[in-house]
Structures are given as structure tokens and as C-alpha cells.
Chain A
Amino acid sequence: MKINEEEFNKSAKLLKGVRLTEAEKSAMLSNIYQTEIAPEPSGVVSPFIFSSLFMRERVMIALASFVLILTGGGYAAAGSLPGDPLYGIKVNVLEPLALGLTFDESAKNEYKIELLQRRVAELQTLKLKADVNLASEEESYHAAERNITELEASAVYDKNGINAEIEASVNTYNSLISEPFHLETRVMKDILIPTSEEEPTEDEEENNLEEILQRDSGKIEGIVTESLEGIDEDIDETKNVIEKKIEEKIEDVTNPITESLGF
């Protein structure tokens, strides 16, 4: 289906005009307020229900359940949250096994991102259950930190060291957890000046320059001050040389006159 620019703009304009009616808004608000805010989430879809798990994880759950002395521990572990006794099995056994069973690189990355998003969803669920404490935050952080480290080893980051999907998940994760457990995308920190084989556009160059100026303003100021001091010294030296030359010239002119006058 091909489209031209005019059609594109027309479609965008049409969608811009789409709004909820007042009746729809009122109905929504009324439905929301009527929903009981219970500690156990009822209307919210939990990502830990069995049906939402990947097929390979279902297989792994079956295997792990068998391995875990046929106690059904694998299934329970897959639905566990940070702070639960079986959470360690979920993040240290089931997920790495599921990852190990994924052989395609892009599917592996996709799964790793899913794991990070799952850490976010786990925190959201804990919050809804009002069950957040230091121990659960710490356990969640260690699992998420490992996901990030694995992603950094293989995910595709752009020339600025950013992967929007990972960054969005990290930001949401950080908004849900106490500051000491905030995640960092280290790839971003390590990048100093973007390098690219492509020719940057004028806008990119301007933005990059702005970024460098903001980041290195202290360093730049130091270099400029040092250079200015050097220039001052050069000016003084040049001034002395010129003054000396003028004195010599004046002497050259005045000496013969004084001599001829017999002084």
C-alpha cells in the first residue's frame, strides 16, 4: 500500500482530530472509580499468569517442575515475585535456562528485553500488593542488574550508546524503586563523542556541539583561559620589541642631528 505525502498529512490530520466524547470520558471515570482498589490486583493483567508466559518457558516450567522433585515448584517459581522463596529459582534457574534454549541472537535480545520489562512488571505488581520492602527491592535489583549486564553484552545500541527500549524500561524501573537500587545503562556513560561512518546532518552537528559544550564547559573554559594568558604574554613581548625598535629608530634619527649641532 503506497502513500504520498499529501495523503500522509491528511491521515495524520484526521487522527489528530480524534477525541473521546464527554460521555465516553464520564463512563471511563465512573468505571475506574467503581473498581475496588484491593491489595490483590483483580482488574490488572499480571504478566506472571501461566498463559502469558512464553512457550519455551512453559516447557522449562514443566522440566523444572520435574527436576524440582516433581513438586510443582517450577510453576510456582515462574509466578513468584521478588521476596518470595521461589523467586531465586525463577531468575537463577528458569530464566537462564529459557535463554539458553533460545539460539537466534535477535530472539535472545528480545527475550532479554522481555526479562527487563518483567522486572518492571514485578515491581508494579508488588506495589499494587503494597508489598515492597528492602529485601524485595534488593532481590529485584540483583535480577534486573544481571539482565542489564547481559543486554549490554549483546543488544544493539545506537551511536550515542542508547537503546530506547532498554532505556525506557530502565527509566520506568527506576521510577518504581528506591534510589539506591536505580539501574544504570553503562553503555551510555562510556560514550564520549559519538562516532559514525555516516555524514552527520547540520542539526546533528549542532546538537553534538551543544552536548559537548554542555558536558565539557569547565574543560573548555580552562583551555580558553590558558590560551588567553598565553596571548597576553605574547602581546607584552611584542609590545616590548616594538617599543625597543621605536627607541632605536628615534635614536637613529636624533643622533645625527645632535652630532651635527655639536652637542
Chain B
Amino acid sequence: MESDRPIDSNELKVTFESLFAEYSDVIYRFCLYKTSDKNVALDLTQDTFLRLWKSMNTGAEIEKPKQYIYQIARNLVIDYYKKSKAVSLDALEEDGFEAKETSAGSELMSELLLLRDSIEKLEHDYREVLYMRFVEDMGVEEIADTLGVSANLVSVRINRGKKKLHELFT
């Protein structure tokens, strides 16, 4: 919603930089996890905060910044896959392609692919919840707040997702 209050650019910058300091690593990890490409992840992270900065400059009042920032990042990842006409990682591997390795290091990338491979095998509803739980160490309330769903639902998804994940383990 637009605010009637005139925009104080210094105040805006301080707020933006505190949000950047708090969430830039989180969003970078999320983008890296989703794309497995360091350069793309860097671009998407920057675009996420650029959009946030632009929204803030239009006077938009962001009540739940974490939820808002995650939503922008999610949309950008979707846009990225649509634009690059990327197919799923599984399909790429089946076709004999290797995942792109970047300066982020091959060990990290192979571990990341292992992790993503396990989580992405689960139904859509469980993926982000488990990612936030295991990688970001987020609590039930925090996940619920970020995804804009009830804590009860998150708790159920974590329990069921964990069971399903265990079934996948060797």
C-alpha cells in the first residue's frame, strides 16, 4: 500500500541497507540452491534487492519484508527458468549434461546438487519448507511467516516431509 508520508531518502536507505544486510545471504543461498550457478545466483540476488529498492522508492509499505523479499526472489527464479527455457536438472542429467560448475567450487556444487536432488524429489508443498528448516535453520513460526501460511500447516509439512525424506535415504 502506498504511504501518504513523504519519502525520507536517508531513512529509506538505512532501512534498505538493514534489510540487505539481514537477507542478502539468505536470498543468495536460495538462488544458488535453485539455479546451481553462482553468477546467476548473484544476478538474481541483486535483481531481488533492486526490485525491493524500487518498491520502497515508490512509497510502498512493506509489512512483512522477509516474505516480500522471498516472493520477489521466487518470481525471479521462475522468470529465469522461463527465459532460459531451462529444463529440470533431472532431465538435463538424463540427457548427459553436467551441471554447470562455477567459481563457487566443485565440492560445494556437487553437495548442493545432492541436497537439491533429494528435496526436489518430494512433492512441491514440502520442498521449500524443508529447505528453510534444514538449510536456513528456520523455526516453524518463521517459516509460516515467510511463506504466509499457518504454523500448523508448516509443522505438518515438516513432519511429513521428514518422513518422506527418510524414505528416500539409502
Contacts and interface: CB of A to CB of B under 8 A. Distances in A.
Contact of B165 (A8, A35, A121, A178): A8
24 contacts: A4-B169, A4-B170, A7-B114, A8-B118, A14-B108, A15-B115, A19-B25, A25-B24, A28-B42, A28-B49, A31-B46, A31-B50, A32-B49, A37-B53, A121-B75, A127-B58, A164-B153, A167-B147, A172-B67, A172-B148, A175-B68, A204-B156, A204-B159, A211-B152
Given A8-B169, A128-B54, A171-B67, A15 B29 contact: yes
Interface string A41-69: 10111010001100000000000000000
Interface of B: 1-2, 17, 20, 24-25, 28-29, 32-33, 42, 45-47, 49-51, 53-55, 57-58, 60, 62-64, 67-68, 71, 75-76, 79, 82-83, 104, 107-108, 111-115, 117-118, 124-125, 134-137, 147-153, 155-156, 159, 165-166, 168-170
Interface of A: 1-5, 7-12, 14-16, 18-20, 24-25, 28-29, 31-33, 35, 37, 41, 43-45, 47, 51-52, 117, 121, 124, 127-128, 130, 132, 158, 160, 162, 164-165, 167-168, 171-172, 175-179, 201, 203-204, 207-208, 210-211
A168 B71 contact: yes
Contact of A207 (B29, B136, B155, B165): B155
A172 B71 contact: yes
A130 B135 contact: no
Nearest to A165: B124
A177 B60 CA distance: 10
Which of B1, B49, B79 lies at the interface centre, i.e. has the most chain A CB atoms within 10 A of its CB?
Answer: B1
Contact of B46 (A19, A28, A37, A168): A28
A207 B82 CA distance: 39
A176 B137 contact: no
Contacts of B57: 37
A48 to B, nearest CB: 12
